[in-house]
Each structure stands twice: as structure tokens, then as C-alpha cells.
Chain A
Amino acid sequence: MQLISILLLVFPLLGFLTIGLLQKQMNRNLSGILASVAIFINFCLSAFLFGYVISSNQVLEVPLFDWIKFADISIPFALTIDRLSALMLMIVNGVGLLIHIYSIGYMKEDESVNRFFAYLNLFIFFMLILVLGSDYLMLFIGWEGVGLSSYLLIGFWFKDHANNNAAKKAFIMNRIGDLGFLLGIFILFSTFKTLSIIDIADKASMMHSGDMTLTIVTLCLFVGAMGKSAQIPLFTWLPDAMAGPTPVSALIHAATMVTAGIYLIARSSVLFVLSPLTMNVILVVGAVTALVGGLIAIYQNDIKKILAYSTVSQLGFLFMALGLGSFSGAMFHLTTHAFFKALLFLAAGSVIHALSGEQDIRKMGGLRSKIPFTFALFIVGTIAISGIPPFAGFFSKEVILTAAFEHGTAMGVFATCISLLTTIYMFRLLFVVFFKPAGKDFKPAHSVHESPKVMLYPMAVLAILSTLAGFVQLPKLFSETQGFDNYLAPIFATANGLVAAPEHGLSVQTEWLIFILPLCVIALLVFYSYQRFVNAKELTPATGIEKVLADKFYFDEIYDFLFVKPIGFLSDFFRQAVDQTIINGFVNAIGNGTLFAGKRLRRLQTGNVGFYLVIMVFSVIAILFFNIIL
């Protein structure tokens, strides 16, 4: 068992090193296969561990070596495999494998395909450290490591500075969050004298709810999560991150890395439930992000940007679930979201591939008949994300909406409205790209072509998962056994035990209402979108409030004005005014003053002995005089 856990890290690392070091020599086709094989082995190992964790019901602790150890500080390098990390293993390696295979087709023509696969394996390596780390510092290693891989992959086509700027922005915004995470780690270490996640949870469960230290710690950790999982105010990097190749957007910026923040909070569930203030902050930030992201998504015209804002919105939704205390609901939606969002991105990639790189949906249209397989897969993804039964998104959203209604009717209605935004922007995308008659701007470079099988099969697998994954847990109306909840129950047992369960669950009528009403609205919205977007000749230019949404609430402009420009100004000011003029000027002035004084004093050296004697006599008198006075 221990060996298997270690091998999980070994294979992606080996893949990275082999492909990375032999970039020049390696055959272009080989690297993709090699990288995929590494992840395939990993997937098999994960499946084995997954089965082991379920059947044995044990938590596997794998100590590797002492990383930082001296005096009273001891931070081992150790892995933990429990139900939560096993679930993440399945997602990361499973979706990762499919996207690796897809990339073989997608990146075929790229001149640096070897570098691409090396980075992709590097990402998996760090993501696994993040998922498996058994203390907060190890989690942090993975956290920064995936940030690095993300940086390298966003800026993969580095000849264009637009991509590089996006990569840099992602790294720096993540670093802002990382500082929060790091401060959280410092407080944890100062308080608990350890960084082991399990030990801290044990010790913290003895503390009382609302403890000041815990509140600050959890807020710091949440800042970290905001950076990585693109929450307001640290979300603007994610849409820009679409500058990377599309498989990267699917794997890193939709399915896995951006959910690390949710994973972190779920991992620390004990700390968070003891900090009601933080939970409310998370709820508010999540809700606002979900709303803003959803609204912006409706007014974007770049196919990948729409999906990116959709991810921002869905991540906000996940944080809402966490804020409501529904940890397993969040993990459930995280899982299904990984499937259908990856599917949507890959399908979008297939569209872009078909149109030889075109991303603007205004220049698409009528693709339904030209790329039928991609179209079918895209439909599955759209239905799944919109929460239409029996597709996966419906079941996982249902859990979160129920939690919201349990919290209060207003909350429930608000959450429902946010989830309905999904329907609007997704069906707008679907209709414009596939149904609307091709406009006059539609001039693909060469004939539109369906993607090769190596790209279609992975998407098909994701489509099946997006369809069926929901059935592991049917809504309470239909089934007593809550499969997913039960699976994660041991992980969240302590946390759930610390908060009082809601006094009474929802009545059956309310549950039916939650179930039926959104479906009706969805049906209406789909109909409306069809009318609005398929039949309208052109997408009308936005005005008024729509313009604000299309311009993304001017977040980038505001940050530029508040931070980027002032720091640039400060940099010049420090360099030119302070450093050159004041500090260096002062030092030089002392030097010049000394030289000047030297020149003047030189005149005293007249060589005239009489003059020296006079000076000496006066000096002696002066010294005596001082002695008398003092």
C-alpha cells in the first residue's frame, strides 16, 4: 500500500523528467503517449487505492522522510490517503488521463508538443502532492507547484506577450492568496506546534466555537483559497488564463487546480465550522462571485471566456455550499463539475480545432450539422451544467439548493436564481454556435472538419460520466440512501458533529417545490434563449448596464488604477528621486564636503613653524579652559 502511494508521485515525475530532459531527441508522437501512460498507470493505482479505502475503511499514512526537522520543529514529508484524497485522486488522474489522451490529438501540430506534455505531467505531480499532503506545508508545496505549472502552461505560447501577461497575472494573483495561506500556516504552527492536518483537527475540536485564533486562521486560509479558486476580488486571472492551450483550460482551470481552494476548506472542515464568522464570509464571497461571474458570462463573445466565467460562477457556487456547511454537497458538485466542465472545454476545443483557431462566437454558427459528434457532446455538457435531470449537474445542484433552503428561504431563492444564470449563458452559447445560421463573418480558413477519434473518445467518456455520475446520490425525495454523503461521512463526521443539525428538515412540499419550480423556469429560459439568440440577426452591441457586464465590471481597469500604476510610479519615484537624488546625493555630499574641507584645511599647512606654535598654544589654552569649565 505504502509503495503504491509513493508510486503515484513517481510516475508523473518520471514522465516530466524524461520528456523534459529529452525534449530535443524525443519523437513528437512519443511524448504524448509516454505522458498518458504515466497517468494511466496512476489512474489504475488510484482506482486500487480507492477500492482499498472503501473496503477497509482505513486511513493510510505514508511517511516519506523528514523534510524540515530541527529543535522543536518537525515537518515530515508524508502522504495521507483517506476517502477525501482518494476521491480527489480519482478525479485528478481520471480527468487528467482523458485530457492527456485528448491532447495527443489537439497538440499534434504544435512544434513544442514535448514541452507541453512535460509540463502536463509536472502539473499532475504537484496536484497529487497537494491532494495527498498530510500537513499544511506539504499542501502548500503542491499549492505553489500547481501555480507554477499553471504559469508555464498559460504562457505556453510564449512568443506572444499577451499570453505571458496572462501567465504572470495568474502567478502574481495566486501569490497574493498564497501569502494569506502562509500566514495561516504561521498562526497554526504558533498555536498548535504542529502542521499535521489530523493533529490540528483533533486539537481544534476541543476549542470553542468562534475562537479568535481559529477565526483568523480560517480567514487566512480562505484568502489562499480565494486566490487559487478565483473568487472576488482575486478572480480576474482565471478568464485571462484561457490564453493557454484548451486542454490546459479544461484540466487546470476548470476541473482540478481551481478546485484546490474548495479542497483546502473541506480538508480543514473542523477549523471552519468552529468559525461562524468565516463561514459567513465564505458564503457572501461565494454568492457574490457566483452572481458576478454568471452575469458577466452572459455578455461575453469568446467561447473560452464564457466557459471561464462560468467556472468562476460555479466555483462561487461551491463556496456558497461550503459556507452553508454542506461540505459533502460541495465535494459532490466539485466532482460532477469536473466532468461536465472538462467536457465543455474539450468540446469547445474541438470547435476551435474545427474552425482552425477561431474563438469568437459571433463568427460561428450553424455548426450543428458540420461537426455532429462535437455538437452532441456539447449538448450533453450544456444540459448537465444547467441542472436538467437526469444529468449529473442536477443531482449535485439539488444537494446545494436544499442546503440553501434549509438555511432560509431567501437564501434558497437566491441560490436558485444564481444557478439559473447557468442556463442562460450556456444555452446562449449552444444556440449561437450550433443553431444560429452562419453569419457573413463566418469565413473559416479551411473547411470545417470533425475532430479525430483520439479527441472524441475522451470526450465521450466524460459525456457518459456527466450523464451518469449523479446517480450515486439521488435526491432525498427518491432515495433514503445518500451514497455520496455516506462515502464522505467519516471525513466530515467531526465537523458535522460540532454544529447542531437543523431542527427540522424541509417539508416534503418544499422539496417538491425546489425540484419542480427550477425545472419550469429552465424550460422557459431555454425557450427564451432560443428566440433571442437564434433568430436575432446580429448580437446587438451592449448598452447601459449590459455594457458594464460586457466589460466585466471594469475589475481589471480598477486594479490597474489602484495597484499596478501606483506601484510602477512608486518604483520610478524610489529609484530616481529617493535613491539617486536623496540617498546617493547625501552620501556624495558628505564625500564632496570632506574634499572641500580638505582643500581649505590644506592652507593651514603653511610650513611656518611660528604659525604651528601659535595654534598649539591656543589649543592648549582651549583644552585647559574646557577642563576648568567641566
Chain B
Amino acid sequence: MIIVLLLVLPLLASLLLFTGKLGKHSRDFALIASLVEFAVALVAGYAFTFADNKILNLSLNLKQLLDIDIIIYIDSISLMMVMLTSLLIPIIIASNNNREVRNHNFYALILLMQMALIGVFTASEMILFYIFWELALMPVFLITAIWGGEDRKRISVKFLIYTVVGSFAMLIAILYLYTLTSPHSFSFESFYQLKLPYSVQVPVFLAFFLAFAIKIPLFPFHSWQAETYNVSPVQGSMFMAGIMLKMGLYGIIRFILPICPDVVAGGSLIFLPLILFGVIYGAIIAIRQPKLKKMIAFVSLSHVGIIALGLLSNNQYGIEGAILQMFSHGVNVVGFFLCYQMIVIRTGTDIISDLGGIASSAPRFATIFLIIVLANVALPFTNSFVGEFLILLGLFQSNVYIGVIAGLTIILGAVYMLKMYQQVMYGPQTIATQKFADLTTGEIMLFVPIIICIFWVGISPSFVLQLLQSAVN
């Protein structure tokens, strides 16, 4: 039942917010609702850890009503994504301090999105999955289109069309696979039991891959990303980078790996080198990207590409490292966007060359930002080190060349991150940063959960890795 609660809670809260009755208290209400949701997720996690078969599930028999079985279940991968979602959403809500411009609808959309995301991560039946998948798109589209920056209409529509095209390919694949099941069923299980011949796996792989590659995004389907991140309010960007793109990676785990195993084992057609190129490409662009927010987009392109490579590495370490890294990346990128926001609300600019010397007047912020930067360059004892280590190990074992080239990101990551950090935080102060105030206690609280996650996963990842183990097998 706890899963239903996870889904219904944000939905109800969201509906209540849409009415606008809460007025000034919208933000507080949304924050409390998301915190309660997080508590519920923790309970679910606790129940899960002590469940015998490491699965929580729930079936609603709606045969009379809709002629479909609704099955929702949580295995360790779902749990991890649910945890990530419910951990990040309170931070995203709390980070919004622009109370006047963004009214109750803003928070309602965020909570609606949370419900859709949790639906995506817990559905175990294709129709349900697809509905949630598309539903999750709408709030972020609206957030960008309504509260975005310059040129928001054109960019948000482009984003919408782009992702819908991908989803459409996935829908066709789903419907096609449905015709192959006997007896006909949309449940994941029945899809997994299809032992497709290689020639059928290829088009199915292509259709799914297109959908996920656009969502994640992977090179060369990424051109919506930097624009949309840039124009969207920072909460929207956090959503997209922190959680939404994980939907695509999650899709790879749920569909591509079990349904098209032979294609993956054969090296995923031509896509591994293509993703790999994107990884290096994103990293190189990040080195001299003049705008901080766009830089985060390209850094994300690079990091997420590595995760996708890990998932498609056809190697146990690679896959498991990649799943762990999905969590870590979500945490780190939201941390990065938070730092971005702190800078922008104080200086009004995100042009990297206009900034400088912030560390002199804001030592607390400098320390926190440094920790997040170091987590992004995968220093040992931070969360990304474990994930990237396992991914690279897996890649190395499955294909030496890809492993070595992907390893170059270790160097490039240090280049773009330290270059950015130095330019923004060190050196003499500039006009923009002259009166940079250090973080308030409230702002530090936003970072606390992120920093805890960075070190916790970095120092003792075994617990999570062992939980994931059952699902990876």
C-alpha cells in the first residue's frame, strides 16, 4: 500500500495547490508535502530492505473497469530512483525563493511532476509506464514555457516536439511487442519473456534507443538540452538534469537490456562509439563555454554519456556502477545548479568571465561549492568516484579502447571544473561580485542533504551496491 501512498500524496497535494486556495502558503505547503513524501519513501525503503524477496508490489485489479491489470512494483532500482526523486524535490521546492512571480501553479506542477516520475519508476506495465512517461513531460514543459527566460516559447515547443518524437518511436515499439506476447499482455514480465531473434531486436532497440537517447540526452540528440536548461528557471533545470533525464537511463535498464540483450552484447550497433564521442565532445565544449548554466548542460551531457556507456557495457561492474552513478549524478547536478543559483541571485549574471574572487568574501560558499566541484571530478571519497570507477572498470573489461578513451574524461573533467571554479571563485573580485554575501543558514541547509549523500555514498557504497545486486542479476 505504501506505493499507492507515494503516488497519491503528491497528486492530492498538487490538486489542492492548483485550486489556489493556499495563496501565500503555497510554497510552505508544497515543501511540507514533499518532505512527508520523502518520509514515506524512507519507510518504503526500510520496508524494502527487510522484505524477504527484495520486492514490494501491489496489484489493483481493474479488469471490470479498464480491462487492464495495474501492477506497480518496486525493486531495488526503482527504490533508488524513488529515493532520488523524493530526496531532490524538497530541495528543488525550497530553493525557489522567488515567491512573487511564481504562484501556486508552479508548486502544483512540481508535485504533479513528482507523481508522474514516481509512476514511471514504479510502473511494471507498459501502458501505465507510457502514460506516466508522457505525463512527466508536461509540467516541465509548462514551467519552461511560462516562467522561462528569453525566447522561452520557441525553445520549450522545440523541446516538447523533440521528446514527443522519441516517445512516439517508443510507443510503436511497445505496441509491436504487445502483438508478439501471448496471451496478449502489457506487463513487463511478458515482454521480458519474449525471446526475440536478433533481426527483430535491432529495430526494437533502435526505437527504444531513440526515445531514451533524446530524453537523456545522448549525442547527437542533445541540441535541445543546453537551450532548454538555459531558458528554463533553475528549478526546471534541476528537474531535467537531476531526475528527468534519469527516466531515459531507467528505460535503458528496464527495456533495452532485458528485451534486446543480443544487440547490447554485440556492442549496441554503432552507438557505443557515438555516445563515447559525445562524452568527449561535451567535456571539450564545457572547457570554454562562457555561460555557467550552459556549461552545466554540457558537463551533464558528458557525465550522463558515461553512465549510458556503463549501462550498455554488457558488464556487471559497468551496469552496477552506472546505476549507482545515476543516483550520484542526480545529487551532484542539483548541487551544482544550487551553487549556480546562489551566484545568479547575488550577482545577476552567469557569464563566467564576469565573475571572480567570490571565495574572498564567501568562504562558506567556497567550501561547499568546492565539495560539489570535487564530487563532479570524481575524487575518491565522493559519490561519483565509486560509480565512475566501476563504470570504467566495466568498460575496460568489455572493450579496452572504449575504456581508455572514456578514461580521458578523468583528465578533461578536472580541466573544465577547476578552470570554471578558479575563474568564478578565485582571483580578484569583479564589479559583479564585490558585495557577494556568504550563505545564510537557511541556504546551507539546502546543501546539507546533498553533501551527506556525496560522502555517504563515497565512503560506504557497499550497502547500496549489494541491494542493487539482486536486481542487476
Contacts and interface: CB of A to CB of B under 8 A. Distances in A.
B158 A155 contact: no
A618 interface: no
Contact of B419 (A68, A137, A168, A179): A168
A579 interface: yes
Q: Which bracket fits the contact residues of B?
A: 35 or more
A60 interface: no
Interface stretch (B107-115, B129-137, B340-348, B406-414): B406-414
B360 interface: yes
Interface in B174-232: 220, 222-224, 226-227
A167 B427 CA distance: 13
Contacts of B403: 183, 186
Interface in A181-227: 182-183, 186-187, 189-190
A186 B462 contact: no
B427 A179 contact: no
B428 interface: yes
Given A186-B392, A568-B288, A587 B465 contact: no
Interface string B398-426: 00000110011011001100110010011
A68 B392 CA distance: 15
Interface in A286-309: none
A148 B374 contact: yes
Interface in A138-170: 140-141, 144-145, 148, 151, 155, 158-161, 164-165, 167-168
Interface stretch (A69-77, A346-354, A366-374, A450-458): A69-77
Contacts of B411: 172, 175-176, 179
A144 B284 contact: no
B250 interface: no
B161 A571 contact: no
A159 B316 contact: no
Given A168-B419, A186-B392, A575-B289, A68 B410 contact: no
A567 B283 CA distance: 11
Interface stretch (B15-23, B257-265, B378-386): B378-386
A50 to B, nearest CB: 27
A574 interface: yes
A610 B428 CA distance: 77
A178 interface: yes
Given A568-B287, A572-B288, A164 B426 contact: yes
Nearest to B412: A567
B414 A190 contact: no
Contact of B161 (A176, A584, A591): A591
Contacts of B407: 179, 182-183
A615 interface: no
Nearest to A189: B393
A171 B418 contact: yes
B228 to A, nearest CB: 12
A285 B360 CA distance: 42
Given A161-B426, A164-B427, A575-B288, A70 B469 contact: yes
B426 A155 contact: yes
Among B222, B363, B462, the most chain A Cβ lie within 10 Å of the Cβ of B462
Nearest to A564: B415
Nearest to A588: B158
A158 B379 CA distance: 21
Interface in B437-464: 459-462
A161 B223 contact: no
B466 to A, nearest CB: 5
B410 A175 contact: yes
B121 interface: no
A141 B414 contact: no
B285 A186 contact: no
Among A70, A159, A591, the most chain B Cβ lie within 10 Å of the Cβ of A70
A151 to B, nearest CB: 8
Contact of B396 (A23, A71, A183): A183
B125 interface: no
B311 to A, nearest CB: 16
A20 B426 CA distance: 19
A572 B289 CA distance: 8
B410 A69 contact: no
B359 A158 contact: yes
Nearest to B380: A141
Contacts of A137: 389
B404 A159 contact: no
A178 B418 CA distance: 16
A478 interface: no
B223 to A, nearest CB: 4
A626 interface: no
A596 interface: no
Contacts of A625: none
A66 interface: yes
Given A161-B426, A172-B411, A70 B161 contact: no
Interface in A529-587: 567-568, 570-572, 574-575, 578-579, 583-584, 587
B37 interface: no
Contact of A190 (B396, B408, B422, B468): B396
15 contacts: A68-B386, A69-B465, A71-B317, A144-B379, A145-B379, A145-B380, A159-B427, A161-B422, A172-B414, A179-B410, A186-B403, A571-B285, A579-B285, A583-B222, A583-B223
State the 10 A-B residue pairs at the shortest beta-carbon distance, nearest first. A141-B380, A571-B288, A158-B426, A70-B465, A584-B223, A186-B396, A175-B414, A571-B287, A69-B462, A164-B422
Given A23-B363, A172-B411, 18 more contacts: A24-B363, A71-B316, A73-B317, A141-B381, A145-B381, A158-B359, A158-B360, A159-B360, A172-B415, A182-B410, A187-B396, A567-B284, A571-B286, A571-B288, A571-B289, A583-B220, A584-B223, A591-B161
